[in-house]
Amino acid sequence: MGQEFAEDAKAFELCDVIVTVGGDGTILHAARQSLGYNKPLLGINIGRMGFLATVEAYEMEKLERLVHGEYILDRRSILSVSVDGQNRFRQTALNDVVISKSGISQTVDVEIFCDDILVNHYQGDGVVIATPTGSTAYSLSAGGPVLDAHIAGLVVTPICAHSLHSPSMVFSAGRRLRVSLSSPLGPHNALLSCDGRSPETISCQDTVDVALSDKYISLICFNEADQFEAIDKKLKGR
């Protein structure tokens, strides 16, 4: 007999828990698709790293704990992103927003404004704006700090800045960031990507507004220290 499957919207509405099987990309996709349904998300890792997943393929006994309600809901902040006002472009991100140059021989000038006050300027390959959840992803690879996932804030990390001193900056939850772009090589375009999705082309004269959303994603965990266990097991030695 053929199987019947509900449309995504109906499935998200009817389910109690969203379970993903894959890697971090699968979790990020499900988080975006299910945003607004307020359903907890459990990741089962069969990918390469699965940093956000709290169940490995060899730990299926944890599903018994899920059935019996023996788990913790870990609320994770998400970013709200818009370009030149919300009418042109608006997206969300659980991990990060990346603004980068569009060509190998180019650089971009990035000015960071916090609540309309200029706080930093970078020239280089771009910038990563990450949630605490995303602080262990691209931002970390670019030299940024690891933030406790329970912190209400975001971190801005430059990518290959042409400077001897270009530190990351951490902002509190209530701050609104604006990224102003220009190119020292002329009117080139830049690229904007949320959670690694296909990038949008933006003009180097555009501005990008980023803030923490009032929405959130609940990840199912089985330990209060799951984030730090993942760092210990999946990042150390890499």
Class of domain 78-213: mainly beta
Domain ranges for the chain: 8-76+216-235, 78-213
Paired with 179 in beta bridges are 112, 208
pLDDT tens-digit profile of 72-100?
999 999 999 999 865 678 999 999 999 99
Active site residue 209: no
186 appears as a binding residue in the annotation: no
pLDDT tens-digit profile of 5-55?
778 788 889 999 999 999 999 999 999 999 989 999 999 999 888 889 999
pTM above 0.95, yes or no: no
Residue 237: pLDDT band (50, 70, 90) is: low
Residue 184: pLDDT band (50, 70, 90) is: low
Say how many residues make up the chain.
Answer: 238
pLDDT recorded at residue 85: 66
CA-CA distance, 27 to 196, in Å (whole number)?
A: 12
136 appears as a binding residue in the annotation: yes
DSSP β-ladder status, 96-101 and 108-114 = unpaired
135 appears as a binding residue in the annotation: no
Please provide the CATH number assigned to the domain covering 8-76+216-235.
3.40.50.10330
What type of residue is 62?
A: K
Catalytic hit among 8, 16, 24, 195? 24
pLDDT recorded at residue 111: 94
Beta-carbon contacts of residue 106 (< 8 Å; ≥ 6 apart)? 183, 185, 188
pLDDT recorded at residue 135: 96
The answer on pLDDT for 104 being more than 70 is yes
137 appears as a binding residue in the annotation: yes
